[in-house]
């Protein structure tokens, strides 16, 4: 028999460790969904404004959002103008949640999703990725919608 596992001190430590691990597991299960929201629309606006090196303009964002940029689609083609209600993908017909944070509290709360969708949608609308200034302007427009 191994004396390491039979001493009262080690049993107490083992019990304490199990309690800590159980508490950690419960905390992870309960708070897991909270981790998904790792940013806010205001933080995204600040991020792109800093990257652009110039103040964002809600008016420029509104014009950009509604313009076709020489292609078939604008941002508003799928997200509506203004984007405060459910939209519908122009090609697939898939329903899209409101884009404006004032109408959709989940909008722009996950950095990975925000980056993914800006990249995809900018390529669809502009045939290129958006610049930081364009993203900042669009965010300034969206966060001001009520």
Q: Model confidence over 8-25: pLDDT tens digits?
A: 555 555 566 566 555 545
Question: For residue 122, what are the domain limits?
Answer: 41-143
50 and 16 in one domain? no
pLDDT tens for 49-76 read: 999 999 999 999 999 999 999 889 999 9
Q: Residue 95: which H helix or E strand, with range?
A: strand 95-96
49 and 27 in one domain? no
pLDDT tens for 63-119 read: 999 999 988 999 999 999 999 999 999 889 999 999 999 999 999 999 999 999 999
50 and 24 in one domain? no
139 within 8 A of 61, measured Cβ to Cβ: yes
81 and 15 in one domain? no
Read off the pLDDT band of 33 (50, 70, 90). very low
Tokens of 27: 């905390």
* Predicted structure pTM score: 0.74
Number of domains in the chain: 2
């Amino acid at each position: 028999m191994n004396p390491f596992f039979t001493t009262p001190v080690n049993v107490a430590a083992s019990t304490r460790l199990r309690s800590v691990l159980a508490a950690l597991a419960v905390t992870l299960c309960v708070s897991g969904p909270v981790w998904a929201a790792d940013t806010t629309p205001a933080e995204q606006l600040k991020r792109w404004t800093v990257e652009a090196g110039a103040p964002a303009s809600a008016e420029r964002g509104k014009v950009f959002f509604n313009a076709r940029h020489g292609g078939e689609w604008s941002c508003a083609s799928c997200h509506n103008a203004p984007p405060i209600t459910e939209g519908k993908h122009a090609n697939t017909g898939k329903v899209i949640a409101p884009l404006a944070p004032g109408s959709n509290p989940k909008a722009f709360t996950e950095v990975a999703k925000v980056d993914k969708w800006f990249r995809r949608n900018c390529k669809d609308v502009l045939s290129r990725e958006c610049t930081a200034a364009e993203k900042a302007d669009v965010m300034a427009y969206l966060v001001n919608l009520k």
